Amino acid sequence: MGKIVHKENLSENVFKLEIEAPIIARKRKAGHFVLIKIGDQGERIPLTISSANEQKGTISLVVQKVGVTSHKLAALKAGEEVTDVVGPLGQPTEIEHKGTVLCAGGGVGIAPLLPIVEAMKAKGNKVISVIAGRTKELVILENEIRAHSDELVIMTDDGSYGQKGLITAGMEEIIRNHTIDMAVTIGPAVMMKFTSLLTKKYNIPTIASLNTIMVDGTGMCGACRVTVGGMTKFVCVDGPEFHAHEVDYDELLTRLNAYNDAEQSALENFVKETDV
Amino acid sequence: MMNDPRNEPWREALRKSMKARERTLLERTAMNEVPAQTRRTNYDEVNTGYTAEMAVQESQRCLDCKNPTCMEGCPVNIDIPTFVKQIEARNFAEAAKTIKQTNIFPAICGRVCPQEAQCESTCFYTAKLNKPSVAIGNLERFTADYEQQSGHVHIPEIKTVNDIKVAVIGSGPAGLAAASDLAMNGYKVTIFEALHEFGGVLKYGIPEFRLPNSIIEQEISVLKEMGVTFIKNFIVGKTATIDDLKEEGFEAFFVGSGAGLPRFMNIPGENLIGVLSANEYLTRVNLMGAHKPGHDTPVLYGKKVAVIGGGNTAMDSVRTALRLGAEKAMIIYRRSFDEMPARKEEIQHAKDEGVEFLNLTNPVEYKSDDKGRVNKVILQKMELSEKDASGRRRPVPIENSEYEMDIDLAVVCVGVSPNPIIPQSITNLELTKWDTIQVDPEQFNSNIPGLFAGGDIVRGGATVILAMGDGRKASAAMHQYLQKQLVTTDN
């Protein structure tokens, strides 16, 4: 359990790990996540399962280098082990036949979107996907998303690939030209704030998958709490997916910064130590 | 009773060696502890234990009552007079064996049990003489530590080993106690733990200054020697369901998955940065080692820390805050000292270490700086009403008594709801209106055949020893259930 069987870089700061986790590979559904920890002194962080191979007994995780733990993960090579992997956690995505589903993923959020795109398509929906990044090399998993989508639109902030513009611009164009029955949005919290505002304007039921700080990930610590529809919810056991229009994104954005100072200095120390 | 150990010659002689009156004149032997000013800056255990001389001296106070009422106060029925008299006879190893007949974890219970509300409250000294009770808890702890240090730890005897697989879900006090009794009865026991370390609340909840992790490790190693299999990072209900485990041959289940979701008060500002649950605060420190160099998990180091609540978790949190460098560490509790649910010893320790108590006070709102970090709490004064129908004096807010106080960290310890993962994963499992698992109060079986439960998943929020008691009673009922199954299949 936890052995890395394959690793590849998707962009400069984003990489994909395929790790041995046979039981999780068998049990996971779209929307599920795992908690991982590296070494005895590591922290526990949540990562959404991007895909799984039941025959090989592996799951794939797509990780962006942000803090100490993701940097430590990036430093591991194929054949090495992730000390602790536990899951699958959270509630799976409700996959139903809705008609036409708009799937919007930004940056590293494209990875957790992939299993949903796949499952929505398999359920007989028409899937229109929009994937976006600041620049060309941050648009990941294009072929995989394309393979399960009826249409695919790519957006980059700088126009280096696909169409130039924000993800919302690409989405709005699709919404105007199609009848959309449901939308799914995954990406940075600030992106989801605006994609939610957009689909709310058009009255499209929308699901957002939230990524928050967690410690245990099993409903114990409450670090992941968010306000949804005026109620406090726990992302680890009630989520990670919620009705996008009911999420208090400003609170989510604030809470993501809770440990910023400590994380920043820890990362600087880590980079300093590993460079020497 | 014919085989009453009280009638054994050594014990009769011991009773006669000192007059009962002389015994009652002895003062209760105080526990050794690290001075408050030293300990509030480190994580070393506060209570340092009795020496052998102190233990013998204390054991002499015990009158070896014919009708030992102390035992009535013990949820796991430890033969208290026998082990105490064995201490007096300096037969410490035997004393350990006596305790372990009914409680496999004396080093833990001797440290965290609320003895003053259990065995020590029904001790003859408290009940009849109006004197401090025999220090049963301190003696239990001494016995356990002595055995550990002697290097000859008694491993309980295992009856005929069978091939019946039994699953224990959760490695907290309820699960460990159930596993130990099931193993003694010869079953093949596997403990499934969701976290990356074993011990449940003993590990993530109770701080090391009260219960060192090494003590938990020792007790777990005894179970391992008894043949119990420990599997970590495995969430029953997620990684595998009860039905999956049945397919793998498990024939009975004990659910000790514990308390889960922290409760909050639903007041404005509770989701600000720097307002967190006791579970989060304590887990970051106790389980993740956030305060130790080289550990990746961060923790907020508050200078002015408000801890909301009056239970043991609140005392653990506020004393943790001191050790993390708080200049001002406060308990904010809506009732008074008399109603405080924490152990008296813990309250005293907190006072000694410089914790401020703002009793009859309740938070009504948190405020923040422009970055969303908590910087103030608005407090309201409370008064206690006359006793209501339940016999409790309810705290009532005093109008227009609100005032602001500067804080930079608030730890909310107002209780927990049961962990939802197992209840959600089993169809038709009967729950109570509090979402705890509905079990028979004696047998601890749920409405699902072969599925038993105990500890906080049943009680909602109780003590370590009550959880252990549940685990033991449930495992006895599981034994009966499995034996009956065996007979049915044989026929």
Q: Please tell me the distance from the alpha carbon of residue B374 to that of residue B272, in angstroms, as a whole number.
A: 6
Query: B5-150 belongs to which homologous superfamily?
Result: Alpha-helical ferredoxin (1.10.1060.10)
Are the CB atoms for B118 and B73 separated by under 8 Å? yes
Q: For chain B, what is the mean pLDDT?
A: 92
User: How many beta carbons lie within 10 A of that of residue A91, not counting itself?
Assistant: 16
The mean-pLDDT minimum among A59-63, A272-276, B160-164, B228-232 falls in: A272-276
From first to last of its 276 residues, chain A has per-residue pLDDT tens of: 899 999 999 988 899 999 999 999 999 999 999 999 999 999 999 999 999 999 999 999 999 988 889 999 999 999 999 999 999 999 999 999 999 999 999 999 999 999 999 999 999 999 999 999 999 989 999 999 999 999 999 999 999 999 999 999 999 999 999 999 999 999 999 999 999 999 999 999 999 999 999 999 999 999 999 999 999 999 999 999 999 999 999 999 999 988 888 888 888 887 777 764
Q: Could you tell me the maximum CA-CA distance found in chain B, to the nearest angstrom?
A: 76
Superfamily of domain B264-414: FAD/NAD(P)-binding domain (3.50.50.60)
Every domain of chain B and the residues it spans: 5-150, 165-260+417-490, 264-414
- β-bridge partners, B381: B361
Does the beta-carbon distance from A237 to B261 stay under 8 Å? yes
Interface test with A, best of B193, B233, B308 (most A CBs within 10 A): B233
Where do the structural domains in chain A lie, given as residue ranges?
4-89, 100-256
CB nearest A23 (choices: B240, B264, B272): B240
- Is B239–A42 a contact, with Cβ atoms under 8 angstroms apart? no
What's the pLDDT tens digit per position in B338-390? 999 998 889 999 999 999 999 999 999 999 999 999 999 999 999 998 887 77
> Nearest residue of B to residue A33 by CA position?
B238
Residue range B9-27, pLDDT digits in tens: 999 999 999 999 999 999 9
- List the single best residue of B192, B193, B195, B313 to mutate versus A (max A Cβ within 10 A): B195
Q: Which residue has the tokens 């002595």?
A: B146
The minimum CA-CA distance between B28 and chain A, rounded to whole Å, is 40
Checking if the pLDDT of B212 tops 50, the result is yes
Phi-psi region of A40 (alpha: psi -120 to 50; beta: other; left: phi over 0): alpha
B490 token code pair: 């044989």
Q: Rounded to 10 degrees, what is the CA torsion of A74, A77, A81, A86?
A: 40
Task: Decide if B195 and A27 are in contact by the 8 Å CB cutoff.
Answer: no
Q: Which of B203, B242, B280 to mutate to test binding with chain A, by most A CBs within 10 Å of its CB? A: B280
Q: How far is B320 from B413, CA to CA, in rounded Å? A: 13
Token pair in block for residue A178: 């199609």
Chain A interface includes B293 (CB < 8 A): no
Note the CATH number of domain B165-260+417-490. Answer: 3.50.50.60
pLDDT bucket at B1, cuts 50 / 70 / 90:
very low
What pLDDT, on the 0 to 100 scale, is given for residue B2? 52
Nearest to B162 by CA among B191, B178, B183: B183
Q: What CATH class does A100-256 carry? A: alpha beta
- For residue B36, give both structure tokens: 């408050």
Check residue B486 and give its pLDDT.
Answer: 80
Which residues of A fall within a CB distance of 8 Å from B235?
A: 86-87, 89, 218
Nearest CA in chain A to B231: A86
Q: Which residues are within 8 A (CB) of B135 and not within 5 positions of it... i.e. 6 or more apart?
A: B28, B29, B31, B58, B120
B262 in contact with chain A, both atoms CB, cutoff 8 A:
yes
CATH 3.40.50.300 fits A4-89, yes or no: no
User: Which residue, A119, A204, A206, A133, is CA-closest to A167?
Assistant: A133
State the DSSP code for B73: G
What was the pLDDT predicted at B261? 87
> How many angstroms separate the CA atoms of A22 and A113, rounded?
22
Are residues B283 and A215, on separate chains, in Cβ contact within 8 Å? yes
**Tens digit of each residue's pLDDT (9 = 90 or more) over B33-91:** 998 888 888 888 999 999 999 999 999 999 999 999 999 988 888 999 999 999 999 99
Assign B489 a pLDDT band (cuts: 50, 70, 90): low
Partners of B283 on chain A (C-beta within 8 Å) are 215-216, 220-221
Neighbours of B54 (CB within 10 A): 18
Are B196 and A41 in contact (CB < 8 Å)? no
User: Which tokens go with A142?
Assistant: 């294009």
pLDDT above 90 covers a percentage of chain B that reads 78
Residues in chain B with CB shorter than 8 Å from the CB of A84 are 196, 232-233
B294 contacts A41? CB cut-off 8 A: yes
Helical (H) or strand (E) element with B34: none
Q: Say if residue B396's pLDDT is above 50.
A: yes
Instruction: Note whether B41 contacts A: Cβ–Cβ < 8 A.
Output: no
What value does the CA radius of gyration of chain A take, rounded to a whole number of Å? 18
B201, closest residue in chain A (CA to CA): A220
pLDDT of B490 reads: 58
- Side-chain half-sphere of A232: how many Cα atoms within 13 Å? 17
The strand pair at A225-228 and A231-234 is best described as antiparallel
Which H helix or E strand runs over B258? none
- The answer to whether A140 and A117 have CB atoms below 8 angstroms apart is no
Q: Is B272–A225 a contact, with Cβ atoms under 8 angstroms apart? A: no
| Helix-strand-coil split of chain B, %, nearest 5 | 40, 20, 40
φ/ψ region of B244 (left if φ > 0, alpha if ψ in -120 to 50, else beta) reads alpha
- How do B374-387 and B393-397 pair as beta strands? antiparallel
pLDDT digits 0-9 by tens, B338-348: 999 998 889 99
Q: Which of A73, A89, A221 to mutate to test the interface with B (most CBs of B within 10 A)?
A: A221
User: Which residues have a Cβ under 8 Å from the Cβ of A78 and sit 6 or more positions away?
Assistant: A4, A5, A6, A7
pLDDT-derived band of residue B491, with 50, 70 and 90 as boundaries? Answer: low
Residue B417 has a pLDDT of: 86
Least CB-CB distance to B261: which of A1, A89, A219? Answer: A219
Sign of CA pseudo-dihedral B293, B299, B305, B310:
negative
Q: Binning pLDDT at 50, 70 and 90, where does residue B192 land?
A: very high
Report CA torsion sign: B406, B409, B413, B418. Answer: positive
The pLDDT, as a whole number, for residue A276 is: 44
Cβ-based neighbour number of residue A159 at 10 Å: 12
- Taking 70 as the threshold, does the pLDDT of residue B257 lie above it? yes
Q: Are the C-beta atoms of residues B294 and A41 closer than 8 Å to each other? A: yes
DSSP assignment, residue B274?
T
CB contact under 8 A, B273 and A42: no
Q: SS3 of B373, please? A: strand
